[in-house]
């Protein structure tokens, strides 16, 4: 059993590719010439330096978010709920349990359920076993259940959860129809009077639209520039 929780690195393949591109382009820039196309001079070495440097910076910012920023963003999401302590909570795409465990700490008699398909492409070391280890280390084992489940076809009855959470999950569904269906499923299993908090860096407009069409009262924040990539939050309340 680990002595402290490990919430992994988000999108490890993307970070690796950014560093590879940066490491290749910056030295390559020393050997690239300037070329003229008509009256336009293209300075290839400067383009290589700027592109490579930008990739390295993006990779570094993604690591900073994974190690520090996502904890602050988690708290921002959880603070959008007026917690009583008896809520039934669902975390869609729980990963290694960051949101789920944060919510469980705010529960007394309530319970949190985390679902995922456990893709290591989306999060390093993503597995049910590693998430369970985090749950145990964080001392919330009695308030948490983990399941393998597909966001597009949730295995829960209608109106089952008071709070539904999701961060950086729904964009990983490979097609728009699937992402829309996941939003409809979230609306279906949310209780009247319940709230869904969904955060992502793209496609939040789609989430807002589908949830509104399902009859929820929906709002969307601006981008959180302290996260990387900058994230927006969709808040949907069911009347």
What is the secondary structure of 68-130 as a DSSP string? IIHHHHHHHHHTTS---S--EEEEET-TTTHHHHHHHTT-SS-EEEEEE---TTTBTT--HHH
Check if the beta carbon of residue 233 is closer than 8 Å to that of residue 197: yes
72-237: what CATH class? alpha beta
**pLDDT level of residue 36 (50, 70, 90 thresholds):** low
Check if the beta carbon of residue 35 is closer than 8 Å to that of residue 44: yes
What pLDDT digit, counting tens, does each position of 50-67 carry? 999 999 999 999 999 999
Q: Please, where in the chain does CATH 3.40.50.150 lie?
A: 72-237
Owner of token pair 């789920």: 100
Please state whether beta strands 161-167 and 190-200 pair in parallel, antiparallel, or not at all (unpaired). Answer: parallel
**pLDDT level of residue 184 (50, 70, 90 thresholds):** very high
Torsion angle of C-alpha atoms 65, 71, 77, 81, degrees rounded to 10: 180
47 pLDDT exceeds 90?
no
Higher pLDDT, 2 or 193: 193
Contacts of 225 (CB under 8 A, 6+ apart): none
The token pair that represents 79 in the structure block: 């603070």
- Looking at the chain, the whole-number percentage of residues with pLDDT higher than 70 is 96
Residues paired with 91 in a beta bridge: 114, 165
Strands (E), the chain: 34-37, 40-43, 88-92, 111-116, 144-148, 161-167, 190-200, 217-220, 232-237
Cα–Cα distance list, 2 to 67, 85, 140 (Å): 17, 28, 15
Higher pLDDT, 4 or 155: 155
The token pair that represents 82 in the structure block: 């007026």
The CB density around residue 212, as the number of other CB atoms within 10 Å, is: 16
Q: What is the mean pLDDT of residues 96-103?
A: 97
Contacts of 108 (CB under 8 A, 6+ apart): 85, 86
Give the separation between CA 55 and CA 49, rounded to whole angstroms.
10
Q: What is the mean pLDDT of residues 152-175?
A: 97
Give the separation between CA 236 and CA 92, rounded to whole angstroms.
15
Residues paired with 190 in a beta bridge: 161
**pLDDT level of residue 42 (50, 70, 90 thresholds):** low
Contacts of 38 (CB under 8 A, 6+ apart): none
């Amino acid at each position: 059993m680990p002595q402290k929780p490990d919430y992994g690195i988000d999108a490890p393949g993307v970070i690796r590719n950014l560093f590879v591109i940066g490491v290749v382009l910056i030295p390559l820039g020393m050997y690239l010439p300037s070329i003229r196309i008509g009256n336009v001079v293209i300075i290839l070495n400067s383009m290589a330096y700027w592109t490579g440097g930008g990739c390295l910076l993006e990779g570094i910012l993604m690591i900073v978010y994974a190690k520090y920023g996502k904890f602050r963003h988690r708290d921002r999401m959880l603070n959008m709920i007026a917690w009583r302590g008896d809520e039934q909570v669902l975390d869609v795409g729980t990963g290694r349990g960051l949101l789920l465990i944060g919510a469980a700490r705010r529960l007394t008699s309530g319970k949190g359920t985390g679902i995922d398909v456990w893709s290591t492409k989306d999060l390093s070391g993503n597995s049910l076993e590693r998430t369970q280890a985090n749950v145990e280390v964080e001392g919330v084992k009695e308030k948490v259940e983990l399941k393998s489940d597909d966001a597009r076809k949730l295995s829960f009855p209608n109106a089952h959860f008071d709070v539904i959470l999701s961060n950086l999950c729904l964009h990983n569904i490979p097609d728009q129809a699937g992402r829309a269906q996941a939003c409809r499923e979230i609306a279906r299993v949310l209780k009247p009077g319940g709230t869904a908090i969904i955060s992502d860096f793209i496609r939040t407009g789609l989430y807002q639209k589908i949830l509104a069409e399902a009859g929820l009262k929906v709002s969307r924040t601006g981008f959180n520039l302290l996260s990387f990539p900058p994230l927006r939050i969709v808040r949907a309340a069911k009347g």
